[in-house]
Amino acid sequence: MTSPANHLPSPVHTALQEGILVVRIDNPPVNALNAAVRAGLQAAVQQAQSDASVRAVLLVGVGRAFIAGADIREFGKPPQEPLLPGVCNQIEALDKPVVASINGPALGGGLEVAMAAHYRVATPHSKLGLPEVTLGLLPGAGGTQRAPRLMGAMAAAELMLSGKHLSADAAHKAGLLDAVASGADAVDNGLAFVRDLLARNAPVRRTRDQAISDAATAPAALDQLAADTAARNKGLFSPAKIIDCVRAALRMPFDEGLAFERARFVECLDSPQRAGLIHAFFAEREVAKIPEASAAQPRPLQTIGVIGGGTMGAGITVAALDAGLQVTMVERDADSIARGRTNVEKVYNSLVDRQRMTAQAREAVLARLTLSTDYDDLKDVDLVIEAVFEDLGVKKEVFAQLDRICKSGAVLATNTSYLDIDAIAAVTRRPSDVIGLHFFSPANIMRLLEIVVAERTSAEVVATAFELARKMKKVPVRAGVCDGFIGNRILATYRQAADYLMEDGASPYDIDKAVRDFGYPMGPYQMMDLTGGDIGWATRKRKALTRDPKTRYVEISDRICERGWFGQKTGRGYYVYAQGVRGGQPDPEVAQIVDAERARKGVTPRAFSADDIMRRYMAAMVNEGAKVLEEGVALRPLDIDATFIFGYGFPRWRGGPMFWADAYGLPNVLADIEAFAKEDALFWQPAPLLQKLVAEGRGFASLNTLK
């Protein structure tokens, strides 16, 4: 059978077996419901309806998934018939039992197809969910009307708002499944289930006809959920629409509810957040597609060494243990290694305390950890990650030792935030085995891993680093060597723009508020207080020796640090952190310091609106991003987007700074920079790449495909 959409062979195959029409959906890698699949499903239903020898229908997915949802790549393009809501209604309307036999992911439209079927069975490792909210959407093929009828309105609302994937057991308990089969083969499981149905002459059971179990209590509970959701998902568009649809399911007849859902779905589709979130979805995956991945195979990776058991060393150790690896942590002395052990155990103890891990599981994980003060214990490891003090001399010493001790073929990595990795590699006889693995604090939580490829790093070592990231479920971004790589370099630039705003008249608290209202969890001065003002101060002092005297330098943060006010860790920074009070309070003494610095510099403060603040903040970020691109430090704009979404709190629904810039309009970004350059031409130098793209009428998106 060919598909009407494109006359290519249909990705949906049917075969009659014992009077059961087995419908196989075969659209690798995850059987996404593109136009051809939808057409194939529709044709299968029509075949089942018209063929009297068909007594029942069995839907299965070929490969590692049932159906992972609508084809996300189709969103934003003109819709192609048949549309999924209609296909689901046709499946449900069939007057012969339809069984969905699930293996692997049944997500979004995939679960909607299964809920339109009359019965559902799944293999034990299947995952069921309605994660459309993570794409700025809602279940648009009946999911908001059928899920409440299968699992209750509140449970359905929570599933859709969380975007979480349920295990087969949890889905069964929730009412989404009729059975969890023991077998791993979906066809066998399905055939056995259908045979039993036919033997019992089981009726067609349409989900639309099911009553909603908590219809009496749900309306009031939904009010509370709506309030919590609005507070939790500040600025997000689709969560409120999901709740409106569940309300409709409680109030309206099924088909009216479907129409209501459709209208809300189209509103989400048209929201710019959908485009930003879908860009983030694909950016998260595209970053792993790097030139070295096709040029080399990763080396074996079972045993890891971690040098330093401080903030980062301990977090990296936990990330490696969670990835199932053997870890040897090495510290300077007995006290330090004891501290390292405590830092690691603290993480697992709190998981056990919160019943998110059993004591046995903790012991099993910690059994894979070796603690040492002897570098010789690293002689057989596959990869070492150094996380000692941010001092070039100390790091060079460590790498010289590793070069002497580690086996040939071991990967030698540094977690430095800023230092020159080529200089570190140069103290070894194997610079091709040296690479930067820049984790973000807390390293066992933050998903971003900047993989810094030094001048001599081999393709095999890069591939091995990306394999480590895959094992640790990190989002790996390939970066070149420069001061601060991709993230910290761009961070330093927009932080500078924020400091200029502060010295010119904006209060640090207004700047933080503008950045929060833009969608960040916190502003730059709150972030400085969280990570510790002393770290930035040390960096500024280190850079003072080489700073261009013509560059404008704001000393307000120095004044604050000179008082020992390093932020949360000292109870005071830009904000005051009173015992028992959530979050920091603006500090009038900081405002006095700011005023004094303005007076000392002869600056007459002026007013800046939130829009003025964000135009400068974003212009600095995007302009430096363009420089990072043209220097080849980042491969593609999407690498910068992923860096800031997964490592610096950039609001995911805006798609990242470079994606945001395309939406805002590169000519507008350039115009802003040229306007600001009238005040400070040295800082506001437009990136040649930005000027080129504007001149050619192109966006950053045009650079997202690797040559």
Which one of 127-135, 550-558, 578-586, 654-662 is the stretch in contact with ligand T1G (CB under 6 A)? 127-135
CB 273, min distance to ligand NAD, A: 30
Q: Which of residues 142-201 bind ligand T1G (CB under 6 A)?
A: 143
Closer residue to ligand NAD in complex, CB, 60/406: 406
CB 237, min distance to ligand NAD, A: 33
d(CA 167, CA 134) in angstroms, rounded, equals: 18
Closer residue to ligand NAD in complex, CB, 265/566: 566
Which one of 60-68, 238-246, 303-311, 648-656 is the stretch in contact with ligand NAD (CB under 6 A)? 303-311
Q: Which residues, other chains included, contact 87 with Cβ-Cβ below 8 Å and sequence gap of 6+?
A: 38, 41, 42, 45, 113, 141
Find which of ligand NAD, ligand T1G, none residue 683 binds, CB within 5 to 8 Å per kind. Answer: none
Q: Is 388 in the site for ligand NAD (CB under 6 A)?
A: yes
Q: Is 657 in the site for ligand NAD (CB under 6 A)?
A: no
Q: 47-60 burial by CB neighbour count: b if 16+ within 10 A, else e?
A: bbeeeeebbbbbbb
d(CA 150, CA 177) in angstroms, rounded, equals: 9
Q: Which of 92, 112, 504, 510 binds ligand T1G (CB under 6 A)?
A: 112
User: Residue 10 — φ and ψ, nearest 5°?
Assistant: -70, 140
Q: Is 568 in the site for ligand NAD (CB under 6 A)?
A: no
d(CA 169, CA 480) in angstroms, rounded, equals: 45
d(CA 398, CA 468) in angstroms, rounded, equals: 22
Q: Which of residues 424-483 bind ligand NAD (CB under 6 A)?
A: 439-441
Tokens of 430: 């194997």
Q: Which of residues 513-552 bind ligand NAD (CB under 6 A)?
A: 531
d(CA 132, CA 277) in angstroms, rounded, equals: 10
Q: Could you tell me how many residues of this chain bind ligand T1G (CB under 6 A)?
A: 26
Q: Which of residues 82-101 bind ligand NAD (CB under 6 A)?
A: none
Closer residue to ligand NAD in complex, CB, 518/646: 646
d(CA 163, CA 399) in angstroms, rounded, equals: 44
Answer whether 536's CB lies under 8 Å from 557's CB. yes
Closer residue to ligand T1G in complex, CB, 65/425: 65
Closer residue to ligand T1G in complex, CB, 68/491: 68
Q: How far is CA 189 from CA 58, 146, 278, in A?
A: 10, 24, 34
Q: Which residues, other chains included, contact 54 with Cβ-Cβ below 8 Å and sequence gap of 6+?
A: 16, 19, 20, 21, 47, 48, 96
Q: Which position among 112, 261, 386, 450 bears the catalytic label?
A: 112
Q: Which of 11, 61, 136, 139 binds ligand T1G (CB under 6 A)?
A: 139
Q: Which of 11, 40, 97, 131 binds ligand T1G (CB under 6 A)?
A: 131
Q: Which of 113, 212, 277, 307 binds ligand NAD (CB under 6 A)?
A: 307
User: Which of 320, 308, 133 shows the shortest CA–CA distance to 236?
Assistant: 133
Answer whether 444's CB lies under 8 Å from 473's CB. no
Which one of 105-113, 503-511, 578-586, 670-678 is the stretch in contact with ligand T1G (CB under 6 A)? 105-113
Q: Which of 20, 32, 312, 622 binds ligand NAD (CB under 6 A)?
A: 312
CB 521, min distance to ligand NAD, A: 16
CB 154, min distance to ligand T1G, A: 20
Q: 268-282 burial by CB neighbour count: b if 16+ within 10 A, else e?
A: bbebebbbbbbbbbe
Q: Which of 11, 40, 97, 109 binds ligand T1G (CB under 6 A)?
A: 109
User: Which of 618, 524, 535, 609 shows the shortest CA–CA distance to 574?
Assistant: 524
Find which of ligand T1G, ligand NAD, none residue 310 binds, CB within 5 to 8 Å per kind. Answer: ligand NAD
User: Residue 52 — φ and ψ, nearest 5°?
Assistant: -65, -20
Q: 127-157 burial by CB neighbour count: b if 16+ within 10 A, else e?
A: bbbbbbbbbbbbbbbbbbbbbbbbbbbbbbb
Q: Is 285 in the site for ligand T1G (CB under 6 A)?
A: yes
111 DSSP assignment: H
Q: Which of residues 16-35 bind ligand T1G (CB under 6 A)?
A: 29-30, 32
The residue nearest ligand NAD at its CB is 310
Q: What is the sign, positive or negative, of the torsion defined by CA atoms of 276, 281, 287, 291?
A: negative
> What angle separates helix 487-504 from helix 588-601, to the nearest 10 degrees?
80
Q: Which of 85, 309, 536, 655 binds ligand NAD (CB under 6 A)?
A: 309
Which one of 67-75, 229-237, 548-556, 634-642 is the stretch in contact with ligand T1G (CB under 6 A)? 67-75
d(CA 349, CA 359) in angstroms, rounded, equals: 8
Residue 315-354 contact track with ligand NAD, rule CB under 6 A, x = bound: ---------------xxx---x------------------
Has 112 been annotated as catalytic? yes
Answer whether 656's CB lies under 8 Å from 279's CB. yes
Closer residue to ligand NAD in complex, CB, 145/414: 414
Q: Which of residues 398-417 bind ligand NAD (CB under 6 A)?
A: 398, 415-417
User: Which of 129, 125, 128, 119 shows the shortest CA–CA distance to 184?
Assistant: 125
Q: DSSP 3-state helix, strand, coil percentages of the chain (rounded to 5)?
A: 50, 15, 35
Residue 83-102 contact track with ligand T1G, rule CB under 6 A, x = bound: -x------------------
Largest CA distance in the chain: 91
Q: Is 132 in the site for ligand T1G (CB under 6 A)?
A: yes
Q: Is 68 in the site for ligand T1G (CB under 6 A)?
A: yes
Q: Which of 85, 104, 152, 313 binds ligand NAD (CB under 6 A)?
A: 313
Closer residue to ligand T1G in complex, CB, 112/662: 112
Find which of ligand T1G, ligand NAD, none residue 99 binds, CB within 5 to 8 Å per kind. Answer: none
d(CA 139, CA 107) in angstroms, rounded, equals: 10
Has 132 been annotated as catalytic? yes
Find which of ligand T1G, ligand NAD, none residue 475 binds, CB within 5 to 8 Å per kind. Answer: none
Q: Which position among 18, 74, 132, 363 bears the catalytic label?
A: 132
Closer residue to ligand NAD in complex, CB, 305/584: 305
Answer whether 128's CB lies under 8 Å from 106's CB. yes
Closer residue to ligand T1G in complex, CB, 104/699: 104
Q: What DSSP assignment string belongs to 272-302?
A: HHHHHHHHHHHHHHHTT--HHHHH-PPPP-S
Q: Is 77 in the site for ligand T1G (CB under 6 A)?
A: no
Find which of ligand T1G, ligand NAD, none residue 415 binds, CB within 5 to 8 Å per kind. Answer: ligand NAD
Q: Could you tell me how many residues of this chain bind ligand NAD (CB under 6 A)?
A: 24
Find which of ligand T1G, ligand NAD, none residue 109 binds, CB within 5 to 8 Å per kind. Answer: ligand T1G
Q: In what order do the strands lie in the sheet with 119-122?
A: 12-17, 20-25, 56-61, 98-102, 119-122, 179-180
Cis peptide before 442 (omega within 30 of 0): yes
Catalytic residues: 112, 132
Q: Which residues bind ligand T1G (CB under 6 A)?
A: 29-30, 32, 65, 68-73, 84, 105, 107-109, 112, 131-132, 135, 137, 139-141, 143, 282, 285
Q: Which residues bind ligand NAD (CB under 6 A)?
A: 307-313, 330-332, 336, 387-390, 394, 398, 415-417, 439-441, 531
